[in-house]
Structure 1
Amino acid sequence: GCDYRWIWKAKIPLKIQIFLWQLFQDAILTREVMKKRKWAGNPRCSFCRDIETS
């Protein structure tokens, strides 16, 4: 596994630390992640029409 201690040691707000940790865990619910979890919706970004990824 990767070492994410740098996130918790960084001098940034806690909510940003949590967001970064979730991002690296593939836990942010982008359309790409939801598709992997059997979501039936459209995986394309509403703005640019590319596959929505983190």
Structure 2
Amino acid sequence: MARKFDKVANFVFVQFTEQEPGIYDKCHRDCTRQDKLDLAWERISHETNEFVSKLSSFETI
């Protein structure tokens, strides 16, 4: 069963993701650096208490 996020959790996730432009901005210098993307997802994982493997699946969005 899929886990449902509440609005606050979604807002927090978006806030932390916006701080890592290499994840979503294909023109950003870090968008092709897997090491930088991995570190960004690690930081978001730490801040949101989610597993990195679960979060990094959003990379293809």
Compute the TM-score of the two structures, normalised by the length of structure 2: 0.27
Select the structure of larger CA radius of gyration. Answer: 1
Higher share in helix: 2
Compute the TM-score of the two structures, normalised by the length of structure 1: 0.29
